[in-house]
């Protein structure tokens, strides 16, 4: 049998500030042979996510950095093409972390077949039924402790996590849900998802837009952005308000530290709680989440948009696009 050749994206060099295509390379490499206890999958959908920017730095963080000259990693849904001696079957779909490449060899023991979700693409396991969905669920309900009747503000509300956080808030009884996004089309999309109000943060100071959208203040802020958004939310949070700090995309590509909010003294006078979290600590919530979210998806109560970019040769464009806001909902690289 001829050696199988697969394409994969390597980290070519570490970026300073905004990453550029030069920091990546598309490499053809022989796919390793399938050994005992292994399976070969052909990837169908690759996830590109903001957190991956952090792994491009040579900094020990909550996940180890990518290595220069090696394939990058990330969530992916693949199709089993050689089940080896495992219990899997050819054609089974599996979720794994060997993304950014066309073929992957996986440990069969740590791989199980995904149940199909009627009416939805298997890529849903990278979005609404995957880490972004769990992030929205845990951040809103466990970290921010949202209660029925709360007024909730979500930034990056057209994004994968934000669009789900707002919809979960509504379904769990929030009295008002407000979202921010970066284009007029995204604002329309966010309203269409059922948010009570939405604004384009390019239209003026976030603090003003939020004050108009939430005249009575907010109780919960789901932060995907940091920077001005966090400061505006602190100003707007009511007594005993809570912010779940999930992401700070505003600063991911900054070359020098971004000053923090100048209104932190309000955290004291308004008895606020700001709490950061990393979703991998909360895998124990996956069963509850899957049960509740599957029901919402099945009944059409949650909608989830995916932006597809086709072909591994465009994976880098897709990733860089996340920082420019070219996606609505989850950005997915789709392979043939």
- Using CB under 8 A as the criterion, which residues of the chain lie in contact with a second copy when the complex forms? 54, 61-62, 226, 230-231, 245-248, 251, 257-278, 281
Q: Which is nearer to a second copy, 148 or 257 (CB)?
A: 257
Q: Dihedral through CA 42, CA 125, CA 52, CA 227, nearest 10?
A: 160
- State the nearest-atom distance from the C-beta of 81 to a second copy, in Å: 37
Q: Please give the Cα distance from 194 to 178 (Å, whole number).
A: 10
- State the nearest-atom distance from the C-beta of 239 to a second copy, in Å: 8
Q: Which is nearer to a second copy, 122 or 261 (CB)?
A: 261
Q: Which is nearer to a second copy, 24 or 222 (CB)?
A: 222
State the Cα angle at 330 between 328 and 332, rounded to 5°. 115
- State the nearest-atom distance from the C-beta of 29 to a second copy, in Å: 32
Q: Which is nearer to a second copy, 145 or 194 (CB)?
A: 145
- State the nearest-atom distance from the C-beta of 147 to a second copy, in Å: 17
- State the nearest-atom distance from the C-beta of 306 to a second copy, in Å: 25
- State the nearest-atom distance from the C-beta of 305 to a second copy, in Å: 25
DSSP 61-82: -SSPPPPBTSB--B-EEEEEEE
Q: Please give the Cα distance from 331 to 319 (Å, whole number).
A: 8
Q: Please give the Cα distance from 62 to 208 (Å, whole number).
A: 35
Q: Please give the Cα distance from 138 to 285 (Å, whole number).
A: 8
Spatial CA neighbour of 43 closest among 97, 101, 87: 101
Q: Which is nearer to a second copy, 106 or 237 (CB)?
A: 237
Task: Show Cβ contacts of residue 215 under 8 Å, excluding neighbours closer than 6 positions.
Answer: none
Contact 223, 233 (CB under 8 A): yes
Q: Which is nearer to a second copy, 252 or 304 (CB)?
A: 252
């Amino acid at each position: 049998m001829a050696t199988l050749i697969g394409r994969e994206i390597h980290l070519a060099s570490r970026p300073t500030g905004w990453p550029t295509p030069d920091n990546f390379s598309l490499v053809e490499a022989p796919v390793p042979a399938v050994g005992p206890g292994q399976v070969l999958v052909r990837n169908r959908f690759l996830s590109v996510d903001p957190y991956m920017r952090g792994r491009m730095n040579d900094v020990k963080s909550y996940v180890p950095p990518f290595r220069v000259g090696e394939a990058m990693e990330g969530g992916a849904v693949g199709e089993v093409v050689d089940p080896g001696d495992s219990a899997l079957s050819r054609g089974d779909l599996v979720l794994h972390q060997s993304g950014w490449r066309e073929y992957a060899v996986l440990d069969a023991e740590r791989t199980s077949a995904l149940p199909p979700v009627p009416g939805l693409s298997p890529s849903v396991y990278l979005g609404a039924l995957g880490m972004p969905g769990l992030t929205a669920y845990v951040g809103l309900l466990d970290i921010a402790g949202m209660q029925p009747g709360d007024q909730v503000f979500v930034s990056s509300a057209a994004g994968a996590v934000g669009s789900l956080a707002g919809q979960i808030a509504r379904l769990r009884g929030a009295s008002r849900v407000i979202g921010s996004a970066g284009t007029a089309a995204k604002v329309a999309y966010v309203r269409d998802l059922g948010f009570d109000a939405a604004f384009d943060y390019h239209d003026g100071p976030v603090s003003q837009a939020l004050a108009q959208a939430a005249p009575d203040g907010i109780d919960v802020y789901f932060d995907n952005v940091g920077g001005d958004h966090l400061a505006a939310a602190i100003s707007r949070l009511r007594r005993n308000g809570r912010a779940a700090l999930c992401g700070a995309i505003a600063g991911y590509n900054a070359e020098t530290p971004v000053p923090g909010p100048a209104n932190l003294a309000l955290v004291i006078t308004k008895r606020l709680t700001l709490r950061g979290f990393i979703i991998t600590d909360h895998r124990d919530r996956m069963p509850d989440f899957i049960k509740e979210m599957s029901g919402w998806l099945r009944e059409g109560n949650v909608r989830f948009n995916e932006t597809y970019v086709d072909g591994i040769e465009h994976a880098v464009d897709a990733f860089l696009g996340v920082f420019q806001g070219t996606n609505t909902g989850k950005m997915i690289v789709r392979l043939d």
